[in-house]
Structure 1
């Protein structure tokens, strides 16, 4: 069984509530599998940010089938495609408004409300970020104070960001899932990662798989590119349409 770091054990003793952000991806699934038996059951809360049509069908069922806790679904007031149309441009790796506006902010809004309803003051926001994913992520620390969400006024609230599987390799993530007697979401039979069906961070392989399995959604993305005059991807520093990028025509 996984042994908790002393700093996390101390937070448990202080009454912290642990919010596990679950996307149905392999990292989220491995993170929950690791934490389900070592955190107080009544202080482990599963939260999923619903992205609607742009996420793979069936992921919420997959989450529910592989957790013991209720799954709290949160949604932003806007949709991803509506946000893109309104801005006239797609997110980029340096400006991932999709993550901040559609995932982080709704989850944090839920955490604030749930923490208040419990009469608690310490929240631990758990996410499945790993050092092996990128050089930028490798520079992160596994446990930090979230200064944006921590307040020290009349009503005190301390929020920590914790990365419980920060040191795991991809192979270890899949082994963690297998050890829990589970299987990863079905798209991993071919996909390298799970996110939106068509993600700016997605590999060519994942994008092509998404187009094959979700042709109506793919056509919507292609048409939106043409409507706003901005493409999701570039080649050689030049804009390239999704159809040309993937080699799949609508």
Structure 2
């Protein structure tokens, strides 16, 4: 049973907790954007309220694969440690005693995680965190040197946001976790940024001056496990392109388990899609054969789905009809095109990335507001400075836009002369007929493009809408017209 707390609230229904009632504050951090905003928000409240108790930033290490590849993105643990050190908070790393995610997947569960079976979170994150809290509670009274006369009050902070899913949006912002509490401890589960938008998340990070992971510059929309079953097609294709050894391990696991990575997308399809995309980009003679191979994989799976077999009812309550061979072929071809298109974008982006450079500069530099937004016109940092992505009109990305004649977001139309120092200024946005949203420099060169589905609520949308942000490129050729 979960006991919801009655708390005073401020704008957007965000509870203001009296931190003085807690003995221990635990802030969970994956080093992703939501964890960063969570840390900055809670740290500000700690400073404002003068909380003097123990504060711990807790990071969960998810382990490595059979070939030694980290399950998480490189650099996340060091970055989470850096974020904690920014505020002088204690930093703790925990891992599951019975093995990491890979060990549990292959040795115990023998099934992939899914939206309805997120044992990766319960076993690899919450479980080890609670084990550490149990030990910390045991140390609490002995450290004070006085007898225990009440339960230890623990505030357990998580960076879950309602925009991520309907189930998260429905969770109370603050509640006592009765299942994890006992006579020795009371654990309050707190989601202080549940109602934050993506823009508010990045504004919180910007104001705090924290350094984000460079994965957001590479094109990732989320920073979780490198290959997460809940990730989007775009993120999975890019992750596999950036970390081929990890993708190969996951493909091996898929074969070993005899089970698809997700119902909608297998690792075999991901790797085949990347291979076909590379061949098509190179205009190789075997490109058509690679597309045909992928289409056969997709068709084989689609044929086994309930919809293809005519099982169940339609939204209007009528019995479904099985797909005809022509319908099956058409759907397989459309899905194949979707995978290869995402693969092509992943290949282009991956070619610009140095995965070893895992951290970018803070969003605020020396108090100046004029910065390049992550994911818009930047590459991972080098030698401590954020790099600048050169426009690549010949990248082959579908729907590369022509320069816009209408004024940009700041009301100033793009000029046509190329300045010798590069093109720096407010970005332009163009929505193409191909279903993609493209970001241009002030002179009409392509900086990046994303699908409309990835655009809505993304960091790119948030920062392009910020008047203080700029993009820079050194392209000398106007983007191609559609």
Q: Which runs of 5+ in 2 are unaligned?
A: 1-9, 64-69, 142-150, 277-482
TM-score, structure 2 normalization: 0.47
Larger radius of gyration: 2
Match of 1:60 among 56, 65, 77: 77
Paired residues for 1:180-219 under 5 Å: 180-189=208-217, 190-219=219-248
Worse overlay, 21-30 or 56-65: 56-65
Deviation track 1:91-140 (CA, whole Å, cap 9, x = no partner) reads: 11101111111000000111121122122611011000111211111111
Relative to total residues, which structure has the larger helix share, 1 or 2? 1
| 1:126 paired to 2:157 | yes
Determine the structure 2 residue equivalent to 1:47.
58
| 1:71 paired to 2:91 | yes
Determine the structure 1 residue equivalent to 2:331.
none
In structure 2, the CA distance between the partners of 1:147 and 1:249, relative to structure 1 (3 Å rule), is farther
Q: Which runs of 5+ in 1 are unaligned?
A: none
Determine the structure 2 residue equivalent to 1:110.
132
Preserved contact between residue 89 and residue 231 of structure 1 (Cα < 8 Å) = no
Worse overlay, 216-225 or 66-75: 66-75
Preserved contact between residue 16 and residue 43 of structure 1 (Cα < 8 Å) = yes
Preserved contact between residue 36 and residue 210 of structure 2 (Cα < 8 Å) = no
SS at structure 1 position matched to 2:263: strand
Determine the structure 1 residue equivalent to 2:373.
none
TM-superposed deviation, 1:41: 5.3
| 1:136 paired to 2:167 | yes
Distance 2:140 2:44 in 1: 22
Determine the structure 2 residue equivalent to 1:241.
266
TM-superposed deviation, 1:79: 1.7
Distance 1:241 1:107 in 2: 31
Determine the structure 1 residue equivalent to 2:190.
162
After the TM superposition, which parts of structure 1 deviate over 6 Å for at least 4 consecutive aligned residues? none
Preserved contact between residue 240 and residue 270 of structure 2 (Cα < 8 Å) = no
TM-superposed deviation, 1:82: 1.7
Worse overlay, 188-197 or 84-93: 84-93
Distance 2:22 2:191 in 1: 19
RMSD: 1.9
| 1:17 paired to 2:24 | yes
Match of 2:122 among 75, 86, 100: 100
Distance 2:238 2:269 in 1: 15
Deviation track 1:60-107 (CA, whole Å, cap 9, x = no partner) reads: 111122223231000002121121112221011101111111000000
Preserved contact between residue 27 and residue 129 of structure 1 (Cα < 8 Å) = yes
| 1:232 paired to 2:243 | no
Deviation track 1:188-236 (CA, whole Å, cap 9, x = no partner) reads: 121111111000111111112211221111100001101110111123x
Q: Which has the higher contact order (CA 8 A, sep 6+)?
A: 1
